[in-house]
Amino acid sequence: MEWETVIGLEVHVQLATKSKIFSGASTRFGAEPNTQACAIDLAMPGTLPVANEKAFRYAVMFGLATHAEIGQRSVFERKNYFYPDLPKGYQTTQLDEPIVGPGSVEIVLDDGTTKSIRIHHAHLEEDAGKSLHEDFHGMSGIDLNRAGTPLIEIVSEPDMSNAQEAVAYAKKLHSIVTSLGICDGEMSQGSMRFDVNISVRMKGEEALGTRTETKNLNSFKFMEEAIALEVERQIDILEAGGVITQETRLYNGDTKTARSMRSKEDANDYRYFPCPDLLPVILDDDYIDSIRAQLPELPDARQQRFISEYQLSEYDAAILSDNTQTAIFFEQAVVICQDAKLTANWIMGELSARLNAEEKNITDSPISPEQLANLIERIKDNTISSKMAKEVFNALWQREDKYGSVDAIIKAKGLKQVSDSSALEAMVDEVIANNEAQINNYRNATPDKRPKMLGYFVGQIMKASKGQANPKIINEILLKKLNQLINNT
């Protein structure tokens, strides 16, 4: 039997507002528990919510970036359920009249083709607090710092048919919200969380299979693993003649296992109704237009610009434009060194590798765009070789020079490349004189074998120059001299 997977995503994105969606308390991450929860967040009696305009603005920005209809009338509802980290006993969210209506985003598939993923809607809501089940001796602790943090929940149509597409879609959303500056994108801090709805059906079947929802995945990797696991589980059940139970599941990224959290029968009746403390919000055209006018450049547009403005390949442009901070880093460096290709290579190569290895964001890079540009300038003017550049890069990364000057490091390490031809010619002559046997071999070799043999001589010269000879120039001189030698005999 051939099976087909159908995936839909609900993505929770924490909005990067300074204060909460209905109170003035700070949304900063990592504070001592309950130090950023005011009377409103604690649901003290008599307190009332006042909506944060920034949250609306950010949600509208997202809507405009995904070609969505903006809900001009936006209504908050109460979703009622009891939970210790939900202080009011209801979550203020949107249901029938969300702020962002149907939209779509494009993703690029492995074969290079693009696919449009439809977004059903996106709505504004408040985050809950956190229940902490460790360190309390059989009891639970409640931290309400996160309670009231603004979220948009982005609900896709079931348009994805495998984990790769789901991840591409999630990454695209990540790229959009960070480009817009409406989310810090810090997955490890829960700034973006995914609920994945998965069902399988036989190929060609119209009707959707029974779906399960795997909740609260907070990394692309876990999402990919969870989908693979769940698809396999469902297919196994169906092939064994079983049926899928509609249920909510939890994936454990450490053990790579998932378990059922609750089935549909246990589902709450949330008793939604419009929140009487918050009036419907009407967004007029002027408001929406003013946001549209200030919309920052989006990843797709930026990619096109990088191709046309910097003559980057589609691949390089895609990688550099995807993340706003990377794009900014790239452009800041290029302005100085005027070499887009080299800058792209360094960012996508050495810099990315180091950042990844240390799990750092580009904004935390110890090397500034200016330093990288200076480094590239020194490569271009032959002051240092690429190999030396890596050494300088290392020194910069380790902050060996307290001023962080590329030139100072080159000088301190004595890395200056020898490009002076007369000095290099002398070195070449010496190596030719001292390696008679190798020269004879070279001479006797067929021309197609010779380039490979050249490396030996270059290596000898580099050794003699303690690595400071400019390999490019050595190559030229060496070839010239060897050709003379051969031709003269």
Partner 1 sequence: MHHQTIAELVTGLRNKAFSSTELTQHYLARILTLDSQFNSYITISEEQALADAKKADERLAKGNAGDLCGIPIAHKDLFCTKGIRTSCASKMLDNFIPPYSATIVENCANAGAVTLGKTNMDEFAMGSSNESSFYGPTKNPWNTDCVPGGSSGGSAAAVAAQLAVAATGSDTGGSIRQPASFCGLTGLKPSYGRVSRWGMVAYASSLDQAGPITHTAEDAAIMMNTMASFDSKDSTSVNKSVPDYTKTLNDSLNGLRIGIPDEYFQEGLDQEVATLIQAALAEYKKLGATLHSVSLPHTHLAVPAYYVIAPAEASTNLSRFDGVRYGHRCDNPRDVIDLYKRSREQGFGEEVKHRILIGTYALSVGYYDAYYRKAQQVRRLIKQDFIEAFKSVDVIAGPVTPTPAFSLGAKTKDPVSMYLEDIYTLPTNLAGLCGISIPCGMSGNKPVGLQLTGHYFDEARLLNVAHQFQQHTDHHTKTAPVNSLTKPLILSNT
Shortest distance (Å) from residue 198 CB to partner 1: 25
- Among 23, 141, 156, 154, smallest CA distance to 92 is for 23
Q: Which of 48, 207, 357, 433 is the binder for partner 1 (CB under 8 A)?
A: 48
Q: Is 283 in the site for partner 1 (CB under 8 A)?
A: no
Pairing, β 73-74 against β 77-80 = unpaired
Site for partner 1 in 233-272 (CB under 8 A): 269, 271-272
CA–CA dist 469, 473 (Å, integer):
8
Size of the site for partner 1 (CB under 8 A): 29
Beta strand 212-217 pairing with 247-252: parallel
Instruction: Print the binding letters for residues 427-446 with partner 1: x by CB under 8 A, - otherwise.
Output: --------------------
Query: Within 328-367, which residues bind partner 1 (CB under 8 A)?
Result: none
Least Å distance, CB 47 to partner 1, is 7
One of 31, 50, 301, 412 touching partner 1 (CB under 8 A): 50
Please report whether residue 45 would count as binding partner 1 according to CB under 8 A.
Answer: yes
Any contact of residue 35 with partner 1 (CB under 8 A)? no
Nearer to partner 1, 269 or 359 (CB): 269
76 vs 194, beta carbon nearer partner 1: 76
Q: How far is the CB of 272 from partner 1 (least distance, A)?
A: 8
Count of residues in the chain:
489
d(CA 337, CA 328): 14
x-or-dash string of contact with partner 1, 171-210, rule CB under 8 A? ----------------------------------------
Interface with partner 1 includes 273 (CB under 8 A)? yes
Site string for partner 1, 123-142 (x = CB under 8 A): -----------------x-x
Q: Which of 47, 210, 368, 465 binds partner 1 (CB under 8 A)?
A: 47
Helix, strand, coil share of the chain (percent; to 5):
45, 20, 40
> Could you give the CA distance from residue 240 to residue 475 in angstroms, rounded to a whole number?
67
**Dihedral (CA of 245, 248, 251, 255) sign:** negative
Q: At what angle do helices 450-464 and 421-434 cross, to 10 degrees?
A: 110
Closest approach, Cβ 132 to partner 1, in A, equals 14
DSSP run (H or E) holding 74: strand 73-74
Separation between Cα atoms, residue 440 and residue 446, nearest integer Å: 12
Of 20 and 88, which CB lies nearer to partner 1 in the complex structure? 88
Which class for 308: exposed (0-12), middle (13-18), buried (19 or more C-beta within 10 A)?
A: exposed
CA distances from 162 to 20, 54, 167, 200, 287 (A): 36, 35, 9, 10, 39
427: left (phi over 0), alpha (psi -120 to 50) or beta: alpha
Among 28, 31, 39, 484, binds partner 1 (CB under 8 A): 39
- Please, which residue, 22 or 306, has the CB nearer to partner 1? 22
Q: Is 464 in the site for partner 1 (CB under 8 A)?
A: no
Residue 289: CB minimum distance to partner 1, A: 25
Residue whose C-alpha is closest to residue 14's, from 49, 64, 74, 62 = 62
Q: Which of residues 69-108 bind partner 1 (CB under 8 A)?
A: 78, 80, 82, 84, 87-90
Nearer to partner 1, 133 or 221 (CB): 133
For residue 43, the one-letter residue type is A
The least distance separating partner 1 from the CB of residue 275, rounded to whole angstroms, comes to 8
What's the CA gap between 185 and 173, in Å, rounded?
A: 10
Binding residues (CB under 8 A) for partner 1: these are 39, 42-51, 78, 80, 82, 84, 87-90, 140, 142, 269, 271-273, 276-279
